[in-house]
Structure 1
């Protein structure tokens, strides 16, 4: 697996391009869901939140705008193509993506170099692409998961198995991994158990609220 930073200049017209063109700094954006050609995302508009909300609500093709707090807007609109190109080619957007007029910066997790090449090819159909940092993805060495559990859980997350609604069924995911559905569920069950146990233990250690009762974790593969 690899993490890649993609710098993209959008050639298509886009409401975000117009809203953010005159700002001094890029705006962080976090993708929530892509479905049926629509993308739902959180836009950190900061001091521009009021103005952005008004313009988005007045734009016919914007399906939904919701004020989350003083600085953040939840928006659903048709994808201008970039997000779909990334997800269609098995990429996953990570945190800290930004938009500034025509300019976009996407931080993407991909499983294979071929997937990244296809993402870039698709993006070049309607913009200019420059590949920035490309690094092997290294999971934390203190992960509670076995290598196989991490592989299965990562694939499930990347392909939208944990999205709502799900972007891939358990049958399809098992087929992609070339394992049975029973084996898929066994790996995911154990991975979820270990991750939850680890997260709860860390939470108690950080807050110091009472003694933490050790959760027995299945150590089988």
Structure 2
């Protein structure tokens, strides 16, 4: 199991690129789900939530946008390439991301080096990519609860992280006898635990 820090200088324009140009700091988004070529995330828009809601609603790449509260938007959009590349090659993306006008940093969890190589290769079709830190870690799953481990192992075995997905979150939830929101919550917590351990790991670091 590996955690990679990928730096991408994106050349392809997207709706988030335009929004990021309007603020002084990178945009904070929380990834909810990657599905085929789409990504669903929460965008913390602050006082711009109203105007950004209108712009996102009018964007061709955006399939759905919803106001969650006064400052946050739930957005489902067509991936500009990076999220699709991670999902397609069996990667798990750290939930919290920061999006700048050009420069983006992704923390990706993969189970095989070949998957990471494929992600990097696809990133090169989007822009200039460099590998920051690569950490190998072997014991992260021991920190998961029994239910979290069951959910993530079931998802892996059923092809949830394959491209295209071989099973939906609704089907997996039904197989496990839980609701889809409960399934996604267990999956997010498992991913968060794995990624947090990998990010905090200081030993056994290796370079690509």
The reply on whether 1:168 has 2:178 as its aligned counterpart is no
Shift, 1:78, TM fit: 1.4
Normalising by the residue count of structure 2, what TM-score does the alignment of the two structures yield? 0.68
8 Å CA contact retained: 1:21, 1:102 = no
Specify whether residues 121 and 67 from structure 1 end up closer, same or farther in structure 2 by C-alpha distance, changes over 3 A only: same
Aligned to 1:12: 12
Cα RMSD for the two superposed structures: 3.3
Seen in structure 2, the aligned counterparts of structure 1 residues 92 and 160 have a Cα distance that, compared at 3 Å, is: farther
TM-score, normalised relative to structure 1: 0.65
Rounded to whole Å, the distance in 1 between the matches of 2:160 and 2:38 is 18
Contact 1:21/1:100 (<8 A) preserved: yes
**Number of matched pairs:** 170
The higher radius of gyration belongs to 1
Q: Which runs of 5+ in 1 are unaligned?
A: 171-184, 190-195, 200-221
Unaligned runs of 5+ residues in structure 2 are 169-174, 178-185, 190-208
Q: Which stretch shows the higher mean deviation, 102-111 or 47-56?
A: 47-56
3-state SS of paired residue (2:140): coil
Please state how far the C-alpha of 1:31 moved relative to its aligned partner: 2.2
Query: Relative to 1, partners in 2 of residues 1:79 and 1:133: Cα closer, same or farther, differing over 3 Å?
Result: same
Residue pairs, 1:138-149, within 5 angstroms: 138-139=139-140, 143=144, 145=146
Cα distance in 2, alignment partners of residues 65 and 79 from structure 1: 15
Which gives a bigger RCO, structure 1 or 2 (Cα 8 Å, sep 6+)? 2
- CA 1:32/1:160 → structure 2, altered by over 3 Å: closer, same or farther? farther
Q: Residues of 2 paired with 1:45 and 1:13: CA distance?
A: 19
Contact 1:159 1:167 in 2 (8 A): no
Quick one: distance in 1 between partners of 2:5 and 2:46?
24
After superposition, what is the alpha-carbon deviation per residue over 1:163-191, rounded to whole angstroms, capped at 9, x for unaligned? 9xx93349xxxxxxxxxxxxxx9xx89xx
Report the counterpart of residue 131 of structure 1 in structure 2: 131
Residue 70 of structure 1: aligned partner: 70
